[in-house]
Amino acid sequence: MSDKVKIKIAFFDAKDYDIASFEEALGDKNFKIKFFDTKLNTDTAKLAKGYDVVCVFVNDTVDEKVIASLVKKGVKLIALRCAGFNNVDVRYAKDKIGVVRVPAYSPYAVAEHAMALLLTSVRRIHKSYIRTKDFNFSLNGLMGFDLHGKTVGVVGTGKIGRVFIDICRGFGMNVIAYDKFPAKDSDIEYVDIKEIWKRSDIISFHCPLTDETYHMVDSKSIKNMKKGVVLINTSRGALIDADALLEGIRSRHVGAACLDVYEEEADVFFEDRSGHIFEDDTLARLISMPNVIVTSHQAFLTKEALTNIAHTTLDNISEYLSTGKCANEVNV
């Protein structure tokens, strides 16, 4: 089959692991992918000229201007290779261009990473690792606490949230949860969000970023939490007001924070900034805190997840371009 009839995909913000997983998933499928290492934004949208589809990730900018530019260039579909779509102006896209996503690639990957962060934090694994590299085997300052018997509040009980709940139950933890749309026929104890703040020793976030959830953790909500609360965020950075979190840590009200996402991560995460002067003072101060662990949006990064992302993304593109509809289409 000639290249002329192949579906042409402009793939933005491509990393080595993206390229490897998508090339493996391609096989003899009817696609031709051009991988761009640059992110999609107003300036780079011109690269999509002549392509049928743009494939984007969480930190690509897909606002009204970008969408208008893509439509003008004949692009028919925006294919998100992630679950979240808060970076896409879906209202403006309606009836102009299709938007599809990968709603579930590996809930286990993200949930397990959340637990890994929690265990690392409360048992001081990261500190012990650094010490023993220098042959320092002192236990001073490494005391943690049992997870067994603690109350964990889970905000968002989609697939990832429910897997995380199962993991917590395996540790003997008491689980309470909040979700605007509770899972039907479940044995989950749902409570009001204020009860999450009030009762939880640990709070883990697994909900999407919307106007309603933006900065749901702010200075006011932190004051309503237990002193010493541990916060885990593997969902979207802007669920937490970073400046309020920093103040909560400095005041000793927040006992620890485990962050795989950050609200201003777009120009930082997924890149090597080790040789640059770091300009984000809030993130720099958070990272400097001894009770804060930051990973660079890597919770999704497992072999299984990358394989599922690649196959689902390509299936979404095939389904939408052949039928004009897709089960994973994002609707307003």
Known active-site residue 124 = no
Active site annotation includes 297: yes
| Nearest residue to 231 via CA among 206, 208, 259, 191 | 259
Question: d(Cα 77, Cα 70) in Å, to the nearest integer?
Answer: 9
Candidate list 112, 206, 263, 265, residue with the active-site label? 265
Helices (H) and strands (E) in the chain, counts: 11, 11
Beta bridge partners of 231: 203, 257
Check the CA dihedral 327-308-206-241 and report its sign. negative
Pick from 67, 158, 89, 157: which is nearest to 330 by CA?
89
Q: What's the CA gap between 280 and 265, in Å, rounded?
A: 10
- Catalytic hit among 81, 101, 297, 311: 297
Residue among 113, 162, 206, 236 flagged as catalytic: 236
Let me know if 215 is a catalytic residue: no
Asked whether the beta carbons of 321 and 52 are under 8 A apart, the reply is yes
* 176, β-bridge pairs: 153
DSSP E strand boundaries for the chain: 7-11, 31-35, 53-56, 77-80, 98-100, 151-155, 174-178, 202-205, 229-233, 254-259, 292-294
Count other Cβ atoms within 10 Å, centred on residue 170.
10
- CB–CB of 75/52 below 8 Å? yes
Alpha-carbon gap, residue 241 to 258, rounded angstroms: 14
Catalytic residue positions, numbered: 236, 265, 297
